[in-house]
Amino acid sequence: MPSPTSLSYYWNFGSLLFLCLGVQIFTGILLTIFYTRDINTAFARVSYLNREVNNGWLLRIIHANCARFFFFFIYCHIGRGLYYGRYAFRETWNIGVLILLITIATAFLGYVLPWGQISFWGASVITNLFSAFPYVGLDFVIWLWGGLSVDGATLTRFFALHFLFPFIIFAFAVVHLVFLHTTGSNNPLGLNSNLDKVSLYPAFLTKDIYGIIAFFILFFLLVFYNPWILGDPENFISANAIVTPVHIQPEWYFLFAYAILRSIPNKLGGVLALMASVFMLFAVPIIMPIQPRRRQFTGFIKILMWSLVGTIICLTWLGARPVEQPYVTISQHLTMIYFGLFFILGLSKKVQEKVNTPIISA
């Protein structure tokens, strides 16, 4: 498909996401050969894979670390779309946010499968959050667990869903591409002229190849030199329902939402804030008006956008801190800033739209 000539390397994240998804599906299918969904043997089978199966350790490390890169790329992909007004194409944007939600669910389900300490207690804590909803919450949690606690039935269900969801993600990714080919790509200059477009090959294919090479260099440096730097040492201990870890925290890509959850003293309020932190992306096309094609962001809006990025980074750091002062207070302030920035961005763009409309009309 012909694409604008001004596309930069920021547009590489889409192809990198497809590559990571393919790696995850391939390695995931191989990992299922050695896995058992029995709580008495699941942890032992993972240890057997690491120690006894030829290159089994490599298979698991690639699967775990590629998931982390996947989330990094999807956040960058969404951030680029937010920065350059990709949300103007609502169908493409909403399908992308839906892919993010399914990916979050898939990652959470997969993190439970090794049945280590953090896996077990993370599943217990996160699933128990649904009990905050009145009337139906507790019944839903019991149904999700398949019993009165996280047990063998829970592991079986999580394993089945974790195996199924990547194929659903792939199907939605294809739909995402169909909408993309219908509307075309946006670009940094905001131009919409067929005179400024070239074919995918060789210009953009070359950029994608450069991005893929850079990804593999960083990826294999992580895999072969420090594969567990982003993991939790507690998860190398078999799950024990009696001993609670001192500090339970999710993977780094969930820490910003986890910090928002902990910042609200009310359980139901924390769950609603957690959900709103992601579902807010569905409201972006409504909150932020569609950008005219030739208009660029003002300096003030650029400052707001980078302030949002900085807020998310700070919340990620706070999510890994203990639940104590001053981290709780800082998290509460940053949570208000996080949600406030979306509305301030919307108001700023509405003001900018009114100011620029006469110029555009002329």
Residues belonging to the active site = 181, 185, 207-208, 251
Alpha carbon distance 110, 104 (integer Å): 10
Alpha carbon distance 337, 333 (integer Å): 6
Alpha carbon distance 162, 156 (integer Å): 10
H or E segment and range at residue 3: strand 3-4
Alpha carbon distance 262, 257 (integer Å): 9
User: Is-contact 190 296, C-beta < 8 A?
Assistant: yes
274 burial type by CB count under 10 A (0-12 exposed, 13-18 middle, 19+ buried): buried
Tokens matching residue 271 = 């769950």
Closest CA to 199 of 68, 31, 3, 19: 3
Q: What sign results for the dihedral spanned by CA atoms 346, 352, 353, 354? A: positive
Amino acid (1-letter code) at residue 202: P
CB-based contacts of 287: which residues, under 8 Å, 6+ apart? 342, 343, 345, 346
